[in-house]
Structure 1
Amino acid sequence: MATQTPTTEESKPFSVLFVCLGNICRSPAAEAVFTHFVRRGGFESKFRIDSAGTIGYHEGNPADSRMRAASKRRGIEVTSISRPIRPSDFREFDLILAMDLQNRDDILSAYERWRTKEPLPEDGPRKVKMMCSYCKRHKESEVPDPYYGGPQGFEKVLDILEDACESLLDFILRENSHIAIS
């Protein structure tokens, strides 16, 4: 009996990039929460997960200590280092998730700016989705920025991200059946 060799598309990890403003609160938390669900499902080798910011102000810094502490209380380790979004992200990632409408607009503006200078995939804008579009239990359309709020803001963000990330993983597995096989 012959076995079928997976195509390049099927053997390549599905790549997800989470993006917020500074890449120190929401997007690193989303990266960590999604990674948590992926590991729990045993799909680590099937995914590439990262986060970035629309600005580079915090580049090279770890996530906000309040977000790391709130996540840790839930058993989720936030370990990413801040970086800005870059043109290659539109080539390297299958899905780019914006935390709020301003992030989405900034991502799309950057894409248009960069594509005048270098070739970028035509489907770049179609890769950009809103994080909250995957929520099942929460009604928010945006993940609120907790940076200037109190501790309850970080908890609220994590509640939203857990909801969205769980549904996101289910969606990706449903749409890419080859990920769940093997």
Structure 2
Amino acid sequence: MTFRVCFVCTGNICRSPMAEHVFRSRVREAGLTGLVEVDSAGTDGWHEGDGADPRTVHVLREAGHDSGHTARQFRRDWFDRLDLIVALDAGHLRTLRRLAPTPQDAEKVRLLRSFDPSADPDDLDVPDPYYGDAAGFEHCLKLVEAASDGLLDAVRARLGA
């Protein structure tokens, strides 16, 4: 059985590709590559076909992660094939849950930082770094990395590994 995870932000050029690559690294390090598929998308199609934002690429490479990416928009029919849809902020969470064809599909959508036990439960958004400077992308990476270990634990539990 393959467990499929998709990270979703707004345009799929900053936060969600960052989360995709960080989590894919965690999956690889855990020896789960054949068991877990990792992907990302955006709630909107503004950047469809574009690569990741150069600042995203920079922080990923600096941290030792891959960075190849092509942006795309999340599609409603993906709910059927995905086991977990990870939203990067509360706006994405609401959008994705509204898109969900069934209540069971809506339950597949979770906030990334909900997997970080040290995160403030009243502030689970990964802020959008797009309109800021490099420091915003570095902060985003730290939040993504902090949540990825808890997410990996949750996926392992679902796999029974």
Unaligned runs of 5+ in 2: none
Correspondence 1:157 to 2:140:
yes
**Structure 1 partner of 2:106:** 125
Equivalent residue number for residue 115 of structure 2:
134
Match of 1:44 among 15, 33, 38: 33
1:109 aligns with 2:98: yes
Partner of 1:65: 54
TM (normalized to structure 1)?
Answer: 0.83
Deviation at 1:26, TM superposition (A): 0.3
Letter of the 1:149 counterpart: G
Give the unaligned 5+ runs of structure 1: 1-11, 116-120
Q: Are 2:71 and 1:88 aligned? A: no
1:74 matches 2:63: yes
Deviation for aligned residue 1:138: 3.6
Query: Aligned equivalents of 2:65 and 2:112: distance in 1?
Result: 19
Q: Cα distance 1:105–1:122, how it changes in 2: closer, same or farther (>3 A)?
A: closer
- 1:17 is paired with a residue whose SS is strand
1: CA distance, partners of 2:67 / 2:148 = 15
Task: State the match for 1:118 in structure 2.
Answer: none
Instruction: Provide the aligned length of Structure 1 versus Structure 2.
Output: 159
Q: Which residue of 1 aligns with 2:45?
A: 56
Question: Using the alignment, how far apart are the partners of 2:70 and 2:148 within structure 1?
Answer: 20
Q: Does the alignment pair 1:146 with 2:129? A: yes
CA distances 1:138-172 after superposition (whole Å, capped 9, x unpaired): 43411000001111110111101011111100121
- More deviation, 136-145/96-105: 136-145
Give the letter aligned to residue 111 of structure 2.
M
Q: Return the TM-score normalized by structure 2.
A: 0.94
2:24 to 22, 29, 35: 35
Q: Deviations over 1:44-71 (max 9, x none)?
A: 0001110000000100111101011011
